[in-house]
Amino acid sequence: MARITWGTITKEMDEALNVCRSMGLAHAAEETFNSDRIGHHVALAESATFGGLAPFLQTQEPKALRPKVERVLIGPLLPRDEDENSSHGRNILFELQLAAQFASAGLTPVLGEHPDLHVEVDGHRLLIECKRPASLAGARKAITKARDQLLKHLKKAPVGSRGVIALSVTKLMNPGDLLFRYSGDASGKEALAAEIERHRERLADSWTDRLHGKITGMIWHVITPAVDESVPIPTVAQNMTCMVTRSCRPYSIASKRWTAEALAKLPGGGLCGGFFF
pLDDT digits (tens, 9 = 90+) for 15-68: 666 666 666 766 766 666 566 777 877 887 888 788 888 889 999 988 888 999
Strands (DSSP E) along the chain, which ranges?
110-111, 117-121, 124-131, 162-168, 180-182, 215-228, 233-244, 274-276
SS3 (DSSP) at 234: strand
Secondary structure element (H or E) that encloses residue 83, with its range: none
Domain of residue 64 covers 36-276
Characterize 50-89 residue by residue with b for buried, 16 or more Cβ atoms within 10 angstroms of its Cβ, and e for exposed: beebeebeeebeeeebeebbeebeebeebbeebeeeebeb
Residue 7 inside a domain? The answer is: no
The tally of domains found in the chain comes to 1
Residue 218 inside a domain? The answer is: yes
The phi-psi region of residue 58 (left if phi > 0; otherwise alpha if psi is between -120 and 50; otherwise beta) is: alpha
pLDDT of 153 reads 96
pLDDT digits (tens, 9 = 90+) for 160-202: 899 999 999 999 999 988 889 999 988 998 999 999 999 999 9
Q: Is the pLDDT of residue 122 over 90?
A: no
Q: Is the pLDDT of residue 4 over 60?
A: no
Least confident of 30-44, 78-92, 100-114, 117-131: 30-44
Per-residue pLDDT band at 254 (split at 50, 70, 90) = confident
SS3 (DSSP) at 197: helix
CA 62 to chain centre: 22
Dist. CA 207–CA 75, nearest whole Å = 31
Residue 110 inside a domain? The answer is: yes
Dist. CA 47–CA 33, nearest whole Å = 16
Interstrand relation of 162-168 and 124-131 (parallel, antiparallel or unpaired): parallel
This prediction has a pTM of 0.85
Residue 24 inside a domain? The answer is: no
Residue 52 inside a domain? The answer is: yes
Residue 3 inside a domain? The answer is: no
Q: Could you tell me the CA-to-CA distances from 147 to 104, 114, 150, 185, 217 in Å, in that order?
A: 26, 13, 5, 35, 11
Q: Could you tell me the CA-to-CA distances from 55 to 58, 66, 72, 93, 136 in Å, in that order?
A: 5, 15, 17, 15, 34
SS3 (DSSP) at 179: coil
Residue 174 inside a domain? The answer is: yes
Positive or negative torsion for Cα 187, 190, 196, 199: negative
Share of residues in the chain with pLDDT > 90 (%): 41
Residue 226 inside a domain? The answer is: yes
pLDDT of 274 reads 36
Average pLDDT over all residues of the chain: 83
Dist. CA 43–CA 24, nearest whole Å = 26
Positive or negative torsion for Cα 136, 142, 143, 145: positive
Could you write out the DSSP letters of every residue in 19-76?
HHHHTT-HHHHHHHHHTTHHHHHHHHHHHHHHHHTHHHHTTS-HHHHHHHHHHHTSS-
Secondary structure element (H or E) that encloses residue 3, with its range: none
Q: Is the pLDDT of residue 3 over 50?
A: no
CA angle 192-68-242, nearest 5°? 30
